[in-house]
A and B are shown apart, each in its own frame.
Chain A
Amino acid sequence: MIAIELILVLITACFGIAVFLERKLIRAVIYLAFAAISSALIFLYLGQAFIAMLQILVFVGGLSTYLIVAVATEEKSRKMPSNLSFAVFAVVSALILFQLTYSSASPSTSPADFVSSAQQAFSSYYALFYICVLLLFASALGSVLVLKRFTKGSRQ
């Protein structure tokens, strides 16, 4: 069981790293899709088959597909940043996040306890969550309309 968990962690991390180490944009987007697929495998391992299906539907079938279509015309390789800076930032942030996660989790705290306390904290705010999410989505669509107006103006 531990071996399966570690393999899933390794696969996800490898695809995450590949997104930033790839020169061609379209391959970076494909690696992002594979990272989403590996996260769906993690959901399957946790027994959440419906969430895994929705993850593949939304991230791979929807978002990655649109991104691939959009960047497919990009032929030039991009300018790569320094691998040393990437590695340093990755190690430092991993150490900080590891310390934060394992210092806040006491041996007596189970994930179920955390969930029940989170439920009590957020139960009054479900409507606000949905409103905020819809507002963000509307702002994204609004940005498309504004850019369309800019494009029309620049053509004239």
Chain B
Amino acid sequence: MISYLILAPIFLLSIAIAGIVSDKHFVVVLLGVELVFIASLILLGYFFSSAAGPNPSGVALFISIWTVASAEVITLIAFYIYMKANGISFDISKLSKLKG
């Protein structure tokens, strides 16, 4: 029997997808990606808390997701500081002006 907690990652993922698709601000889109990571962590925690004992595959996946989320935030901050310093718009439909 799956508990109601599985609704949390479903709702969070759907909200994040909706935000990523509908919003045009660069930072907010990447905050949506962070929400996707949080949703995947909740789902992972739910399934691996059902395991009989300590689980190395669960630990590996947790560390993977945390590291990827950290890498994404580092990239976000680097691009944010660069774009702010150069007066580049945060509208993702205008990001093609970055090239050249």
Chain A 1-40 near chain B by CB (<8 Å), digits 1 or 0: 0100110110011001101100001001100100110010
A156 proximal to B (CB < 8 A): no
Tell me which residues from 20 to 36 in chain B have a Cβ below 8 Å from any Cβ of chain A: 21-25, 27-28, 31-32, 34-35
Most A Cβ at <10 Å: residue of B5, B6, B22, B75 = B22
Q: Are A136 and B68 in contact (CB-based, < 8 A)? A: yes
B57/A9 in contact, CB under 8 A: no
Which B residues are closer than 8 A to A by beta carbons?
1-8, 10-19, 21-25, 27-28, 31-32, 34-35, 38, 41-42, 45-52, 55-58, 60-64, 66-82, 84-86, 90-91
Residue A53 at the B interface, CB < 8 A? no
Residue among A35, A42, A88, A154 making CB contact with B35, cutoff 8 Å: A35
Query: What separation, in Å, do the CA atoms of A71 and B81 have in the docked complex?
Result: 9
Q: Which of A6, A13, A20 contacts B19 (CB 8 A)?
A: A20
Interface size bucket, A side?
35 or more
Q: Is the CB of B18 within 8 A of A20?
A: yes
Closest A residue, CB atoms, query B52: A112
Please name all residues of chain B whose beta carbon is closer than 8 Å to the beta carbon of A78 when the two chains form the complex. 25, 28, 90
